[in-house]
Structure 1
Amino acid sequence: MEEQQQLQTETLTEHPLNNAYGSLNDICYELSSLQDLACRGSWKSILDKVARARTQALLSKPHEHLVYLTYNTLGLMKLRKFSDAVKEIETLEDGIDNVIYSYENYPQHYPGRVGSMAPFALRWLYAELPSRVGDRQESVDRFYMLLDYVREKMSKSESGSGDVWRKREGLVVNSIISHHLSHKEFGVCLDLIKDLLKRVESAVGRAVLMSKLGYIQMQLGDLEGAKASFNVVEGIVNEEKMGVEMKNLVNRNKALMFMVGKDYVSAVREYQECIDRDATDVVAINNKGLCLMYLRDLADGIKVLEKALESVPTAALNETLVVNLCSMYELAYVNHTDTKKTLSNWIARVAPDDFDSSCTRV
C-alpha cells in the first residue's frame, strides 16, 4: 500500500529532535538500524530488535518507547498480524493524546519543548488498524479526526514545518479516499479531491491529484471528464518541464484511456515509452504485460513480466504482478504448476518479509 511505504520514513517525532542532535542514533536508540531494516522489508528483524531492546531495557528516553512501539506496530501490520498490532497500539494508556506522551511532562529530558512526542506514523496506524480487523467505519472516523488534527497543525505551523504538514494532509486524505473507493463511494472521493486541489500549492501535487480525479471519473463512466482531467495533467507536466516520473504519469493516463477503449496496441506503445524512460516503472511493466495478454500474445506478456523480475526485482516483486504472471502461466502452459513452483521458490529466497507468497497459487 502506497500510504504504508510513505510511513517508513515518517517515524520520527512530530517535533524532530534532529535540530539538537547529530544523527538518527542520537535521536533514538539505533534508529538508523530500524530505518534500514524497514527499507529492506526486514520486518521480522525489526520485531526481534524491538523485543530485545525492551527486554534489555535499552530505551532510556520516553519518546524512544513510542518510536519503538511505532516500528513494532508497523512490523506486525506488514506481516498481517493485525490483531497483535491492535493489541500493541492499545498498550498506550488512554490513547495517543494522553498528557504522559507530551514533552512538557518530562522537563528533565526535553527542557523547553512542548507538544506531543507521538510519531505521526503512530497516529496513522491508530486510524488504519481497525479496518484490518473488520471495523472499517471506525477507521474512517479516526482518519477524519486525524485530518482535523493535521489541519490544525498546518494553521499553526511556520513555513518550514508547514510543508511537512501539507504532505501529511495529502497522505491522510489519500487514506480516506482509499477507504471510500473500496466501498464505491465515488461522490465523497470527488469532493475530497476537489477540496484538496484548492489547498495544494505544488505543481506535482496538482498533477497527481488531477490524475486521481481522472481515475475516479473513469470508474464513474465519465470518460470525457477523465480525458479532460488527464489533459490538465499533461498541460501541467509540459508547462513545468517535469521529469521522468511525471512524464510517465502522463503516458500511463493515456494508456488507461486506450485500455478502456480496448485499443491495447496503443496502450502497449504508451507503456513501453514509460519503460524506456524508467525500467523500474512497475505499473507500466505490469499493465503492458496485461495488454499483451488481452492481445492473446501470452508469450510476450510472460517475457515482459519475467524480464522485470529478473532485471529489477526490488521494484517488480509485488503481489499484483506475480498474480498476473501466474495467471499467464496457467493459460499458456499445461505444466504450469511446476513453473509456478520455480517462481515461488525464487520468491522465497529474495522477497521481503511482508510479501504474500500465496499469490502464486501453488
Structure 2
Amino acid sequence: MDNQNSGATGPSLSQYFANDPPSFFDELAPKEKHQKNENVSIMSATFNGAFKQPEYIETGDIEDDLKVPDEVRNFWEPPFTEPGIPPHLTMPGVMSPNDLSDPIREAVLIHLGESELSQRKILRADDVTQDERGLRNLIVAGCYRSAVNLTGRLLTIYGQGYGRVGQPAKNTPHSLQLWFTRLSLLAKLGQYELLQSEAEAFDHLTRPDVYYEFHPDMYSGKKGSMACFSFRLLLAELPVYFGNAPEALDKLSELHAICNEIKKYFSDDSTACAFWRRREMRVLHSIVNCAIMMRKFNLIDDIIRGMILEETTLTREERRSLFSAWGRIYLQIGDIFGAEQKFAESRRLKETISSPDLRDFVDKGLIAVAKNDFQEAYLLFQKALQIESGNTMILNNMGVCLLYGGKLKDAINLFERAINLNPQKSLNESLLVNLSTLYELESYNSANKKLNLLKLVNKFKPDLNISLEFCLKLQGS
C-alpha cells in the first residue's frame, strides 16, 4: 500500500491492515460487517443461532510494488478555489472523550471473575512509545483498540483531538496518515457510529488544504495529495459499512474514472502508467465487492473479463487467481456449471503441469459443497490441509462438511484440535462462531464449554472484530 513519503524510515502503517480495504481476493462473498450472518435453514427448528457457511477466503494483499517518484504517487488534481473567497477547510477532530474499552476483559470479568483476568496480557496505549513506532507495535501485536486510543493521543498533539472538530488546525501528511490509520482500525473493529462521525470532516478529501499546493511555505515545489490513495479508497467504501452499497458503488465508480484519467495522463511513462493501473485495479476489486452485495452479477462478469483480457501485466498465476475468484463468485449465485468452467480455466493456467495444488483442492471442494457431496468435499479439503497445515479457512470448511454430513461430534473434535494446535491463529471469528454453534447443537454442557473458549480467547486474543456475545453466544450463559 501507500507510503506517503518515499524517503521516510520504516514501512507505512497502512501495510499492517491485512484486509483493509477488503478485496474480493480476500473474501469473495463478504457480508456487511456489522450484520450477523444468520442462517438457520439447515438447523433444527428450535435452534436460534447462526452457523457460518463454507468460506471463500484467499490470502494475500494487493500492494503497490512499483517504485515511483512522489510526484507520480501523490498525483491528484486539487479543487478549484474562487479567488477572494475563503475555501472550505478540512477540520477533523476525535469525537469521543473516552478510550475504547476492552470487551474481552469485560466479558471475562462478568463470566469468569478477577482471578481469570490475570491471564490477560495485552499491550495498552501506555505500554508503548507515544509515536508512530508505538502505534506500529500495537497494530503488529493485534491490539487494535489500544492502537485507536493511541491515535487519539497523537492527534491531540496536532490540535485535532476531542472537541476540536470544526476548529482550524494544520493538516500534514503525517496527521492524515494517523487519521487513515484510525479510521481503518475503527472499520476493522466494527465501530461504525464513531467511524461515520469522524470521517465526515474529510469530505472525500476534496478540500484544498489536504494538497501540497495549499502550503507553499511548508512544502516548496511539492504538488498533489498529502493524503494517501488508500485513504481515498477507504472513504469511498464507507457507505458499504453502513449498509448503502449503491452509494459506495457510485463513489467507487467516480474514483475509478479519476484513476483511469491519471493513468492516461502518464501513458508515455510506462512505470507511472502501470502504477496507476494497479490502483485502478484495486478500485475495481472494491467495485466487485459492492456488486456482489447488490447481486449485480453482469457487472462482475464485465469487470473480471476486462481484467483478464485488458491487463497485460498480470502473471499467469495472477490470471489463474482471477479465474478461481470468478468461479467462486459463480458458486455464490448457484451456477455450478459456470463455476466449473472458470475453475477449469484456472487449472489450465498453472505454471507447471503437476498434481493438484492447494487452489485446485479448495476449488474442487467448494464445487462438491455446492453439489451437497459433503463427504467428497471433506476429503478434498483434507488433501488441501496436507499441503498447508493449520489453514483455518480449510479447517472451518472441513468442520462445515462434517456437520452437514451429520457428524456433529467429529466436527467439534476437529475445531477443538485446531485450537489446541494453534490457539492464536485458530481462535478467529468464523471458527469461534461455528464451534459455539456446535456446542449449542450438542446441548450437553454447552455453557461450560463456551466459558472454556472464553478462557482461551482471554489468554491468546488481544482483540476480536465482532462481539463476544455473537461469537460465543454468552448471553444467558
Task: Find the partner of 2:212 among 103, 112, 136.
Answer: 103
Aligned to 2:3: 12
Q: Within the alignment, does 1:53 sit opposite 2:158 as a pair?
A: no
Shift of 1:187: 2.0
Judging changes above 3 Å, is the alpha-carbon distance between structure 1 residues 354 and 139 closer, same or farther for their aligned structure 2 residues? farther
Aligned to 1:67: 177
Alignment partners' CA distance in 1, 2:296 and 2:208: 37
Task: Find the partner of 1:231 among 328, 344, 347.
Answer: 344
Aligned to 2:188: 78
Alignment partners' CA distance in 2, 1:162 and 1:353: 39
Task: Find the partner of 2:296 among 165, 185, 189.
Answer: 185
Judging changes above 3 Å, is the alpha-carbon distance between structure 1 residues 314 and 11 closer, same or farther for their aligned structure 2 residues? farther
Judging changes above 3 Å, is the alpha-carbon distance between structure 1 residues 133 and 294 closer, same or farther for their aligned structure 2 residues? closer
TM-score (ref. length: structure 2)? 0.65
Per-residue CA distance 1:27-76 (angstroms, 9 max, x = gap): xx943443343333322222222222233349997111100111111122
Structure ID, larger Rg? 2
Contact 2:171 2:210 in 1 (8 A): no
Q: Within the alignment, does 1:361 sit opposite 2:462 as a pair?
A: no
Larger helix proportion, structure 1 or 2? 1
Shift of 1:220: 3.4
Number of residue pairs the alignment of both structures matches: 343
Per-residue CA distance 1:161-182 (angstroms, 9 max, x = gap): 5555444333322222222212
Alignment partners' CA distance in 1, 2:338 and 2:171: 53
SS at match of 1:91: helix
Question: 325-334 or 310-319, which moves further after superposition?
Answer: 310-319
Per-residue CA distance 1:123-164 (angstroms, 9 max, x = gap): 122112223234332212111112223333333454445555
Task: Find the partner of 2:363 among 253, 257, 260.
Answer: 253
Shift of 1:286: 0.6
Q: Within the alignment, does 1:287 sit opposite 2:397 as a pair?
A: yes
Judging changes above 3 Å, is the alpha-carbon distance between structure 1 residues 145 and 69 closer, same or farther for their aligned structure 2 residues? same
Aligned to 1:139: 248
Contact 2:316 2:351 in 1 (8 A): no
Per-residue CA distance 1:312-344 (angstroms, 9 max, x = gap): 334333222222212222223422122112112
Query: Relative contact order (C-alpha < 8 Å, sep 6+): which is higher?
Result: 2
Per-residue CA distance 1:227-262 (angstroms, 9 max, x = gap): 1110111121243889xxx93122110101111222
Alignment partners' CA distance in 2, 1:241 and 1:204: 14
| Unaligned stretches of 5+ residues in structure 2 | 13-129, 161-169
Which amino acid counterpart does residue 460 of structure 2 have in structure 1?
V
Alignment partners' CA distance in 1, 2:180 and 2:442: 45
Q: Within the alignment, does 1:210 sit opposite 2:323 as a pair?
A: yes
Judging changes above 3 Å, is the alpha-carbon distance between structure 1 residues 155 and 308 closer, same or farther for their aligned structure 2 residues? farther
Shift of 1:77: 1.8
Which amino acid counterpart does residue 439 of structure 2 have in structure 1?
Y
| Unaligned stretches of 5+ residues in structure 1 | 1-9
Shift of 1:287: 0.5
Alignment partners' CA distance in 2, 1:164 and 1:37: 30
Alignment partners' CA distance in 2, 1:151 and 1:37: 36
Contact 1:322 1:359 in 2 (8 A): yes
Contact 2:256 2:283 in 1 (8 A): yes
Contact 2:331 2:339 in 1 (8 A): yes
TM-score (ref. length: structure 1)? 0.84
* Paired residues for 1:11-50 under 5 Å: 12-13=3-4, 17-18=5-6, 20-24=7-11, 30-50=131-151
Contact 1:318 1:355 in 2 (8 A): no
Q: Within the alignment, does 1:303 sit opposite 2:413 as a pair?
A: yes
Contact 2:237 2:248 in 1 (8 A): yes
Which amino acid counterpart does residue 101 of structure 1 have in structure 2?
V
Alignment partners' CA distance in 2, 1:341 and 1:282: 22
Q: Within the alignment, does 1:124 sit opposite 2:236 as a pair?
A: no
